[in-house]
């Protein structure tokens, strides 16, 4: 009987621990502004992965007064896709052990390239977004700031 009680307690503790770790992963959810300040990206959790899409552009229109599109996309059929609403962050998973979101990609509409990416929360409202080719050694890191609603 004691072994059964111990097994149940271990299972409950494990479930509580997993729930707390998953909740830490959800700290990424929100609207973020890259350091350049020309766009805002909303990050959501879909299933057990995190995705981000452009929700605001400082200059939403092109020279012709039309909505900016993904003109640099290597796939010509996608070049007419509007940038607003475009999903630039894909497939991130929370790694509680490492304390970061990884195994995702980031798309740079300025050059039409998709990079491997990892994201680290450095402060409550700041993340480091590192895009890289191959290993994380060769890449670039940008600091994004969370937009915080005024109370």
- The rounded distance, in Å, linking the Cα atoms of 124 and 95 is 17
Q: Report the number of distinct structural domains present in the chain.
A: 1
CB 34 within 8 A of CB 42: no
pTM value surpassing 0.85: no
Give me the CATH number covering residue 130. 2.40.128.520
Q: Is residue 151 part of a domain?
A: no
Closest CA to 70 of 60, 81, 59, 61: 81
Domain enclosing residue 135, as ranges: 2-146
Summarize pLDDT for 19-44 with one digit per residue, the tens.
444 579 999 999 999 999 999 999 99
Residue 60: how many other CB atoms lie within 10 Å: 14
Q: Is residue 132 part of a domain?
A: yes
- The rounded distance, in Å, linking the Cα atoms of 62 and 131 is 26
Summarize pLDDT for 38-80 with one digit per residue, the tens.
999 999 999 999 999 999 999 999 999 999 999 999 999 999 9
DSSP per-residue string spanning 7-52: HHHHHHHHHHHHHHHHHHHGGG-EEEE-TT-SEEEEEEEETTEEEE
- The rounded distance, in Å, linking the Cα atoms of 47 and 68 is 30
Q: Is residue 36 part of a domain?
A: yes
Residue percentage of the chain with pLDDT more than 90: 79
Summarize pLDDT for 87-128 with one digit per residue, the tens.
999 999 999 999 999 999 999 999 999 999 999 999 999 999
């Amino acid at each position: 009987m004691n072994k059964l009680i111990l097994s149940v307690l271990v299972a409950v503790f494990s479930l509580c621990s997993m729930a707390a770790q998953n909740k830490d992963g959800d700290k990424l959810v929100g609207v973020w502004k890259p350091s350049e300040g020309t766009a805002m990206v909303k990050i959501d959790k879909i299933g057990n992965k995190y995705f981000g899409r452009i929700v605001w552009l400082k200059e939403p229109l092109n020279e012709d007064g039309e909505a900016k599109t993904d003109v640099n996309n290597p796939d010509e059929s996608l070049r007419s896709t509007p940038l607003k609403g475009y999903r630039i962050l894909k497939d991130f998973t929370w790694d509680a052990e490492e304390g970061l979101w990884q195994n995702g990609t980031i798309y740079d509409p300025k050059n039409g390239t998709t990079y491997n990416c990892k994201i680290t929360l450095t402060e409550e409202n700041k993340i480091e977004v590192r895009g890289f080719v191959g290993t994380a050694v060769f890449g670039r890191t940008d600091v994004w700031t969370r937009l915080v609603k005024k109370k």
